């Protein structure tokens, strides 16, 4: 999918008006709603900080990759169909989060924002970067992949380097086989039509599930998930219902550094 080349629509932290920037920079408005200008990426037209602090610059970067096991394969924005990159900075000292977006394909591909103008003083903050489908002006855009890092702006700092945000598209292979009465069998042999999967994320006092189906005769595939601990269950089904169920012998652990590879799924049909 080709990326749309466009300008960055952005908003100020405390009510600034919408603006556009050639390099994907944010337009930061004044605290009383005055509009700024995007003279350069990440800069504003004012010479002083909007919150009374001496302006600083912060630089951040992001890397996008497919993770299978421990193997990383670099991905581009177009590889995953991303048309927009979005940024959110939040922190206890901010009255509201600072958000901006860019549909500039070259900016999304660059993986770097070296001179973002910071006008909100010292403190501890979080930066979230998200890749979306569609353009920045599309209210129906969908998030594809995201990552978050924490960073600190020291008192009096002129420049801060934020840790890299890792946008990991975590994947794992799925394959299955069937035995009937201890002998290898095909889907047709047992009347199987599909395999239903249930992936349950396990957290303390919390559980969320994802379910999907694959044709029984499908070739092994890879399924996207997000970091966390999961329990995987698979059910072989035919026209009359469930034929056999398989559950992974242990939880699958996925992080942005390593993705679990499930053991081969074996359905034992009586």
pLDDT digits (tens, 9 = 90+) for 221-266: 777 778 899 999 999 999 999 999 999 999 999 998 999 999 999 9
Looking at the predicted structure, is the pLDDT value of residue 106 above 50? yes
pLDDT digits (tens, 9 = 90+) for 165-219: 999 999 888 999 999 999 999 999 999 999 999 999 988 777 788 899 999 998 7
Looking at the predicted structure, is the pLDDT value of residue 5 above 90? no
Task: Look at residue 17 in the predicted model and tell me its pLDDT.
Answer: 29
Q: 22-29 — which CB contacts under 8 Å span 24+ positions? A: 23/104, 23/107, 24/85, 24/102, 24/104, 24/107, 24/108, 24/113, 25/116, 26/87, 26/98, 26/100, 26/116, 26/117, 27/100, 28/98, 28/117, 28/119
Looking at the predicted structure, is the pLDDT value of residue 24 above 60? no
**Averaged pLDDT score across all residues of the chain:** 81
The pTM of the full predicted model, rounded to 2 decimals, is 0.69
Mean pLDDT, residues 43-62: 70
What pLDDT band is residue 36 in, cutting at 50, 70 and 90? very low
CA distances to 147, 223, 236, 246, 269 from 192, in Å: 39, 21, 7, 15, 10
């Amino acid at each position: 999918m080709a990326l749309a080349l466009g300008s960055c629509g952005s908003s100020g932290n405390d009510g600034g008006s919408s603006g556009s920037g050639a390099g994907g920079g944010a337009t930061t408005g004044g605290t009383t709603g005055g509009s700024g200008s995007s003279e350069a990426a990440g800069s504003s037209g004012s010479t002083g900080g909007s919150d009374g602090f001496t302006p600083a610059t912060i630089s951040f970067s992001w890397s996008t990759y497919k993770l299978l096991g421990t193997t990383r394969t670099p991905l581009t924005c177009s590889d995953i169909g991303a048309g927009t990159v979005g940024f959110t900075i939040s922190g206890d000292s901010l009255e509201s989060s600072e958000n901006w977006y860019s549909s500039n394909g070259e900016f999304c591909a660059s993986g770097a924002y070296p001179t973002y103008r910071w006008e909100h003083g010292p403190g501890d903050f979080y930066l979230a970067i998200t890749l979306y489908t569609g353009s920045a002006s599309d209210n129906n855009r969908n998030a594809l992949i995201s990552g978050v890092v924490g960073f600190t702006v020291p008192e009096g700092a002129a420049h801060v380097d934020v840790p890299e945000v890792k946008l990991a598209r975590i994947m794992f292979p799925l394959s299955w086989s069937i035995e009937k009465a201890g002998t290898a069998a095909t889907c047709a042999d047992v009347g199987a039509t599909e395999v239903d999967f249930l992936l349950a994320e396990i957290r303390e006092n919390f559980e969320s599930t994802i379910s999907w189906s694959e044709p029984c005769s499908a070739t092994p595939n890879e399924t996207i998930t997000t970091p966390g601990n999961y329990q995987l269950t698979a059910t072989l089904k035919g026209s009359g219902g469930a034929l056999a169920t398989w559950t992974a012998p242990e939880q699958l652990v996925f992080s942005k550094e390593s993705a679990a590879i499930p053991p081969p799924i074996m359905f034992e049909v009586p």
